[in-house]
Structure 1
Amino acid sequence: MSRAVPASAPGGTAKPLKIVARVHAMPPEHNAGAEHMLVSMLRPLVERGHDVQVWLSRYGKAHEVYDYRGIQVVPLESRLDFPLAVKRAHALIAHLETVPSAAAMARGYGAPLVVVCHNTHRATFRDAAAGGTALAVYNSQWMEREAELFFAEYPKSVRPEQSLIVRPPVFAEDYATKPGKAITLVNCNPEKGGKVLKALAERMPDQQFLAVRGAYGEQILPDLPNVEVVEHVDGQNMRERVYGRTKVLLMPSSYESWGRAGAEALASGIPVVAHPTPGLTESLGEAGVFVDREDLDGYEAVLRKLLAPAEYRLASKRAKARSAELNPAAELADWCTAIEGLAR
């Protein structure tokens, strides 16, 4: 395991804490950006010596407690006592659909509530502002600005006591590899660009494409000779099964609050061609190649240009430079210190 934040980091606590997270699903069964962001945030807490548990709120395939990268995952099927875990916890973390119920539980047992926000939808901020949130975590500067607009519009909302920006942490050494030859889309639902991938594969029959099945949504998986469908991939295996086979990553998403897959690809110097959502323009920075998702001619022209060796070397250099800029160590240190400061 790569060490994200040293156990002896300044501001750390010598007292091991019991940290409980309530989420709907987790790897290896469910692999989406929100879950892998959470895993990347929990790993440094484990490395600091804290007891970290994730309790699932939906039924899945697992029936017994299992370990995922040092994190203890408790399936709903295990029928263990979640309220008792909250009662004993020093902090309770929730995201997405679990926030309202976790907030009620936190209030009942007096546990500090941490809400990790993954999107800028009004419901996300409304849930975080329901009262009792000790710490809200935003995944970008853009999201923080949107939160401020929400609180300005609804001044009677209860602001979280504290807020922090933690960009979805990507440990470059977990993903860096030698790029492959394919043009790849991760999660082929329509909102992520499944139709764009299909259209480009039809336009470029001389080029190999990878269509990686996503964790959610209808999947558009073209039945074409130059498209290989890659089944749902555990985040631990993305380097070998996806990025080691990818030359260019597509992200023609209609919405991305950040875009973790793009940051993962940058670690290998893989150029990312993306729709200019506010999140993607912030995450990819100058390394991103931005084309409107409706402009198929533009996507094809950019891809053919990137396949030229000289252009690819320049784009790859920019990608690696941006990956270095996104080193998560400092933000994760701040995150750990904030969690330790909440301890009851």
Structure 2
Amino acid sequence: MATAVPASAPGGAAKPLQIVARVHAMPPEHNAGAEHMLVSMVRPLVDRGHDVQVWLSRYGKAHEEYEYRGIRVVPLESRLDFTTAVRRADVLLAHLETVPSTASLARGYGKRLVVVCHNTHRPTFRDVAAGGTSLAVYNSQWMEREAELFFAEYPKSTQPESSLIVRPPVFAEEYRTKPGKAITLINCNEAKGGKVLAALARRMPDQQFLAVKGAYGEQILPDLPNLEVVDHVQGEDMRERVYARTRVLLMPSSYESWGRAGCEALASGIPVVAHPTPGLCESLGEAGIFVDRNDVAGYEAVLRKLLTAAEYRLASKRAKARSAELDPAADLAAWCDVVEGLAR
């Protein structure tokens, strides 16, 4: 396991903190970008010696407490005394649908609340404004700008006390591998580009395609001889089961606030062909190859160009360079320092 922030890092808390997170689901059962960002953010807090507990708000397959990458996860079915954990906590952490209920408890027990914002949808910022948030964490510069525009319409007293940008941390060494041969889409619902994948597989019968089932949404999975379907993959298995088989990653998403899968692929020098959402433009930078998701012919032209060795080498070099630029160490050190500062 990578240790992004050493336990002896300067500015650490005087004593181990009790950090209690409330989220709707966690790996290994639920593997989506928001959850893996959260895991990557709390791992260095564990490395610094803090006690991190993640309490689930939805029923799932797990019935007993379990450990995931050093993090204690408490399924909803296993215990009913979440309020006891809240009372003992130094810091509460929430994201997505759990923000309103966790914010109510934070106010009631006088606890510091951290909200990890994973998208720019109105409910995200509205819940932050309603919760008396101590720290709002944004995953990109463009999200921070969107938040500033939103909060400009609200009284200052309702705005988060502070904010921080933490780009979804990707530990490149955990994903780096030798690329494979397939053109891959991860999560094949319509919004992520399932129809684009299907159309390309039909237009390019000479090429191998890989469809990885996602954690959510109705999956578009046509029965084609050159399209292999892979069931939902746990995060720690992505290197071997997905990226080691992938030559090019597709991200024709209608919306991405950042696009973690693309950054995982960059670690192996895998070119990413994506729809130019603000988040993907920021995350992929100059390594991204951008084509409008409605231009299937444009996607095909780019993919055929990447079949040539010279073009692929150039795109792969740019991907590796961007992966190095996205080293998460500085972001995570700042994040840990800020969380520890909340409890002082």
TM interval, shorter chain, is over 0.9
Q: Residue 63 of structure 1 aligns to which amino acid in structure 2?
A: H
| Alignment-derived partner of residue 44 in structure 2 | 44
Residue deviations 1:290-322 (CA, integer Å, cap 9, x gap): 000000110000000011111000000000000
Following superposition of structure 1 onto structure 2, how do residues 95-174 of structure 1 map, counting pairs within 5 Å? Answer: 95-155=95-155, 158-174=158-174
Q: Secondary structure at the match of 1:78?
A: coil
Please say if residues 31 and 233 of structure 1, whose CA atoms lie closer than 8 Å, have aligned partners that are also in contact. yes
Out of 125-134 and 208-217, give the one that drifted further: 125-134
Task: Give the TM-score normalised by the residue count of structure 2.
Answer: 0.99
Q: Do residues 242 (structure 1) and 233 (structure 2) align?
A: no
Q: CA deviation at 1:21?
A: 0.3
Please say if residues 104 and 131 of structure 2, whose CA atoms lie closer than 8 Å, have aligned partners that are also in contact. no
| Alignment-derived partner of residue 275 in structure 2 | 275
Q: Residue 60 of structure 1 aligns to which amino acid in structure 2?
A: G
Q: Secondary structure at the match of 1:133?
A: coil
Structure 1, unmatched stretches of 5+, are none
Following superposition of structure 1 onto structure 2, how do residues 142-221 of structure 1 map, counting pairs within 5 Å? Answer: 142-155=142-155, 158-221=158-221
Once residues 306 and 155 of structure 2 are traced to their aligned partners in structure 1, the CA distance between those partners, rounded to angstroms, is 48
Once residues 70 and 277 of structure 1 are traced to their aligned partners in structure 2, the CA distance between those partners, rounded to angstroms, is 34
Residue deviations 1:9-36 (CA, integer Å, cap 9, x gap): 1211241111000000000000000000
Q: Secondary structure at the match of 1:126?
A: helix
Out of 126-135 and 248-257, give the one that drifted further: 126-135
| Alignment-derived partner of residue 30 in structure 2 | 30
Once residues 246 and 211 of structure 2 are traced to their aligned partners in structure 1, the CA distance between those partners, rounded to angstroms, is 11
Q: Residue 277 of structure 1 aligns to which amino acid in structure 2?
A: T
| Alignment-derived partner of residue 256 in structure 2 | 256
Q: CA deviation at 1:343?
A: 1.1
Once residues 158 and 97 of structure 2 are traced to their aligned partners in structure 1, the CA distance between those partners, rounded to angstroms, is 19
Following superposition of structure 1 onto structure 2, how do residues 216-231 of structure 1 map, counting pairs within 5 Å? Answer: 216-231=216-231
Q: Residue 305 of structure 1 aligns to which amino acid in structure 2?
A: K
Please say if residues 56 and 75 of structure 2, whose CA atoms lie closer than 8 Å, have aligned partners that are also in contact. yes
Once residues 14 and 43 of structure 1 are traced to their aligned partners in structure 2, the CA distance between those partners, rounded to angstroms, is 19
Q: CA deviation at 1:131?
A: 3.6
Once residues 183 and 154 of structure 2 are traced to their aligned partners in structure 1, the CA distance between those partners, rounded to angstroms, is 44
Q: CA deviation at 1:154?
A: 3.0
Please say if residues 115 and 128 of structure 1, whose CA atoms lie closer than 8 Å, have aligned partners that are also in contact. yes
Please say if residues 151 and 157 of structure 1, whose CA atoms lie closer than 8 Å, have aligned partners that are also in contact. no
Q: Which runs of 4+ in 1 moved over 6 A?
A: none
RMSD: 0.9
Residue deviations 1:193-247 (CA, integer Å, cap 9, x gap): 0000000000000100000000000100121010110100011110000000000
Q: Secondary structure at the match of 2:72?
A: strand
Q: 1:157 to 1:231 in 2, by over 3 A?
A: farther
Please say if residues 253 and 275 of structure 2, whose CA atoms lie closer than 8 Å, have aligned partners that are also in contact. yes
Q: Residue 335 of structure 2 aligns to which amino acid in structure 1?
A: W
Percent identity, please: 84
Alignment: residue pair count: 344
Once residues 125 and 285 of structure 2 are traced to their aligned partners in structure 1, the CA distance between those partners, rounded to angstroms, is 26
| Alignment-derived partner of residue 53 in structure 1 | 53
Q: 1:57 to 1:12 in 2, by over 3 A?
A: same
Q: Residue 171 of structure 1 aligns to which amino acid in structure 2?
A: F
Once residues 14 and 151 of structure 1 are traced to their aligned partners in structure 2, the CA distance between those partners, rounded to angstroms, is 34
Please say if residues 16 and 51 of structure 1, whose CA atoms lie closer than 8 Å, have aligned partners that are also in contact. yes
Structure 2, unmatched stretches of 5+, are none
Please say if residues 113 and 134 of structure 2, whose CA atoms lie closer than 8 Å, have aligned partners that are also in contact. yes
Please say if residues 176 and 267 of structure 2, whose CA atoms lie closer than 8 Å, have aligned partners that are also in contact. yes
| Alignment-derived partner of residue 338 in structure 2 | 338
| Alignment-derived partner of residue 304 in structure 1 | 304
Residue deviations 1:103-156 (CA, integer Å, cap 9, x gap): 001111111000000000111011011142100000000000000000123346
Once residues 76 and 13 of structure 2 are traced to their aligned partners in structure 1, the CA distance between those partners, rounded to angstroms, is 31
Once residues 131 and 233 of structure 1 are traced to their aligned partners in structure 2, the CA distance between those partners, rounded to angstroms, is 34
Once residues 156 and 314 of structure 2 are traced to their aligned partners in structure 1, the CA distance between those partners, rounded to angstroms, is 50
Once residues 228 and 283 of structure 2 are traced to their aligned partners in structure 1, the CA distance between those partners, rounded to angstroms, is 28
| Alignment-derived partner of residue 288 in structure 2 | 288
